[in-house]
């Protein structure tokens, strides 16, 4: 049995789809559906049961489940603008800590989502070397909540028993429910479809022109393949970057969407909200040597290839979900 927290969410539902492709459907999905549209991500998937996240943890600790092979912990608040620190402590740190303790005690494979937001403004670099963890200074409470759990994992001596994945800018199908936290690829597609143009933030850093801020964009399908690779190799552990390994500009991304839609680029630059200007990352790039040295044979989509697949096979289709 495999348990996927956040299993109706973006990466979580994608990984359920990945397991289904591997012939695995003995899966329990843990999430908080409420009145959101996340349930649509489940329609094309095969799984055994669904549990609300508040019901799941006490049920797990009581020992009500038998034969658990792995807990894939993708469930968390992923909003970089969330200001309720108590909520983030409870949801992103304490909940993760309780799951990790259970997995250590019961010899269950534990893979969890960290974040590139832990790197802050990048002044300490983007190395996923374990010695670098303590030096990082996140720019927002979301990043700090992820950093706290990485530090706890290190302090508990679990770096060689679990896998933490520092996801960079992931885009791809099954993100429809994420509202303002959807990828710019999807936002750009909708803007182009509705208005014929894309709006990007202006730059407030002298070293970067408008739209020339850089991010490491990684396609969801590459993340899912990597997670499956880790699931099958219990001897490979630690905290790893999960990006494409290449920094590209927002202008590059916008042009890739226009190209996939067979349209000429038309980009407009808008003011960045005041509250974001001091917390904005102008550059992120994931060094991927650690994953390569661990033996991963995977090759990732280029930005253009990933965007093309997303636009042609999902965004422009009547059934836009992984299937």
Q: Which of left, alpha, beta for 202 (phi over 0: left; psi -120 to 50: alpha)?
A: beta
List, by residue number, the catalytic residues.
142, 178
Query: Are the beta carbons of 11 and 170 closer than 8 angstroms?
Result: yes
Classify residue 272 by its DSSP letter: P
> Could you tell me the two tokens for 143?
């990043």
Mean pLDDT within 123-147 = 94
pLDDT of residue 78: 82
| Calculated CA dihedral for residues 187, 41, 96, 111, nearest 10 degrees | -100
Structure tokens belonging to residue 213: 């801020």
Average pLDDT over residues 54-58: 95
Work out the percent of the chain whose per-residue pLDDT is above 70: 100
* Integer Cα distance of 205 and 211 in angstroms: 11
pLDDT of residue 116: 95
CA distance 116 to 72: 18
Cα 88 from chain centre: 16
Nearest to 69 by CA among 116, 108, 33, 123: 108
pLDDT category, 180, cuts 50, 70, 90?
Answer: confident
- The whole-angstrom separation of Cα 154 and Cα 129 is 12
d(CA 205, CA 217): 21
C-alpha neighbours within 13 Å on the C-beta side of residue 67: 4
pLDDT at position 184, please? 97
- The model's pLDDT over 184-227, given as tens digits with 9 standing for 90+, comes to 999 999 999 999 999 999 999 999 999 999 999 999 999 999 99
CA atoms of 179 and 9, how far apart (whole Å): 12
Per-residue pLDDT tens over the stretch 285-300: 999 999 999 999 989 9
Q: What is the pTM of this model?
A: 0.95
> How much is the average pLDDT of 264-270?
97
Residue ranges and CATH numbers for the domains of the chain are 2-171+216-245+286-301 (3.40.50.720)
Structural contact between residues 36 and 177, judged by C-beta atoms closer than 8 angstroms: yes
- Residue 323 pLDDT more than 90? no
Segment 238-260, tens digit of pLDDT? 999 999 999 999 999 999 999 99
**Tokens of residue 15, six digits:** 């990984």
Q: Which long-range contacts (CB under 8 A, 24 or more apart) does 21-26 make?
A: 22/228, 26/1, 26/2
């Amino acid at each position: 049995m495999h348990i996927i927290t956040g299993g109706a969410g973006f990466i979580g539902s994608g990984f359920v789809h990945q397991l289904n492709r591997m012939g695995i459907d003995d899966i329990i999905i843990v999430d908080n559906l409420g009145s959101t549209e996340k349930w649509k991500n489940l329609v094309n998937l095969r799984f055994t049961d669904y549990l609300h996240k508040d019901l799941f943890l006490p049920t797990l600790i009581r020992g009500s489940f038998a034969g658990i092979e792995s807990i894939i912990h993708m469930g968390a608040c992923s909003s970089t603008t969330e200001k309720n620190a108590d909520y983030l402590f409870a949801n992103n740190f304490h909940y993760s800590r309780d799951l990790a303790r259970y997995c250590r005690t019961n010899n269950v494979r534990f893979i969890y989502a960290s974040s590139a937001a832990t790197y802050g403004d990048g002044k300490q670099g983007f190395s996923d070397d374990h010695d670098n963890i303590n030096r990082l200074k996140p720019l927002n409470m979301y990043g700090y909540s992820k950093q706290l759990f990485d530090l706890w994992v290190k302090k508990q001596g679990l770096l060689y028993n679990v896998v933490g994945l520092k996801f960079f800018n992931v885009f791809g199908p099954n993100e429809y429910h994420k509202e303002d936290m959807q990828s710019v690829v999807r936002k750009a597609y909708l803007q182009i479809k509705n208005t014929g143009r894309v709006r990007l933030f202006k730059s407030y850093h002298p070293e970067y022109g408008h739209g020339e801020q850089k991010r490491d964009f990684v396609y969801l399908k590459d993340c899912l393949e990597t997670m499956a690779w880790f699931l099958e190799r219990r001897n490979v552990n630690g905290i790893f970057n999960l990006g494409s390994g290449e920094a590209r500009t927002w202008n590059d991304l916008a042009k890739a969407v226009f190209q996939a839609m067979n349209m000429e680029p038309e980009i407009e630059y808008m003011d960045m909200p005041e509250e974001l200007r001091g917390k904005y990352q102008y550059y992120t790039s994931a060094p991927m040597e650690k994953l390569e040295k661990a033996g991963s044979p995977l090759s990732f989509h280029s930005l253009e290839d990933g965007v093309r697949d997303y636009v042609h096979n999902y965004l422009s289709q009547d059934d836009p979900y992984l299937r």
